[in-house]
Amino acid sequence: MPNSKLVTIFGGSGFVGRYIARRMAQQGWRVRVACRRPGEAGFVRTYGVVGQVEPIFCNIRDDDSVRAATRGSDVVVNCVGTFAAKGKNNFEAVQAEGAGRIARIAAEEAVAGMVHVSAIGADAESESLYAQSKAAGEEAVLDAMPGAVILRPSVIFGTEDAFFNRFANMAKMSPILPLFGAGSKFQPVWVDDVAAAAEKAVLGQADAGVYELGGPEVDTFSGWVKTMLGIVQRRRLIMGLPFVVGQFMAWCLDLAQTLSLGLFNNSVLTRDQVRQLRSDNVVAEGARGFADLGLEPVAPEAVMPDYLWPHRPSGQYAAIKASAANLKN
């Protein structure tokens, strides 16, 4: 049965937030899932007993909305992020101002603790506006809640991810996979491992400060795409392209979004994403991480086959066809 503890998870119906919500419900906490579309977040109710997990409306750009979601909470978790450089819910509004607003109001409401999900590469001096906004958000959170726990994951993978699934989809349609930053290094981390780290922090089992979360394996961008291709059983040519080509393509796509007044949403490649790909996305030497939380992350190869199988040429029947091919007449 639920206990009296209440955690509010901003973005709790999103990719990372839903896993944290499920873990906290399993811990017996009451869970308030604050999101923009609670009508589409009903699935989180199934994580606990009746009434234990409740999706509510919240706009993190509005003080009153955040305060209503925060009031009465023992701990708040912020999982809200965006890849939109423009519009009302852009980097600055969501990842900098929004994070700071949640922390400030949490402090005003005497909330005991806060967990903030940021990203590896958060840097105020970065060329990437995304990385700058992540750094600004961390600073704002720590200014208001000095005892907060900040989690910086590398690229997150899992059933609903937009990383391996995206390139697996591309592999179904094209014999060539063009990559910018093919040599940049990544350290993918399983979404439920990130949730486990957040769970430790909510339960008060993590010291305040920053933790960088990466999986047990590091490889180049092209190396991870090759791993994915092996799992989805497709042979494709991986073509590494120079950054100057990426910048030009991204500029054209960004321009198309501007000229169309937003009717075309550039979810393909932005100039800021190209800037991010210039840097490795791995845990920094000496940074606190999973080991300091008493956790051991799962390798991508142990999880990827469980959710990438629909991208195989024969889908769920791949193993059956392979077995049948081995039968002797």
| C-alpha span between 197 and 18 (Å, rounded) | 14
Section 105-119 average pLDDT: 98
Q: What share of the chain is helix, strand, coil (3-state, %, to 5)?
A: 45, 15, 40
- Tens digits of residue pLDDT in 269-298: 899 999 999 999 999 999 999 999 999 999
328 or 181: whose pLDDT is higher? Answer: 181
Domains of the chain, first to last? 6-160+187-216+281-298 (3.40.50.720)
For 65, 128, 130, 283, the CA distances from 266, given in Å and listed in that order, are 29, 17, 15, 29
The whole-number pLDDT of residue 322 equals 79
The CA-CA-CA angle for residues 249, 280, 275, to 5°, reads 30
Give the DSSP letter string of 35-54: ES-GGG-GGGGGGSSTTTEE
- Tens digits of residue pLDDT in 233-269: 999 999 999 999 999 999 999 999 889 888 888 888 8
User: 0.85 exceeded by the pTM?
Assistant: yes
CA atoms within 13 A on the CB side of 60: 33
Listed residue (234, 226, 268, 223) closest to 249, CA to CA = 268
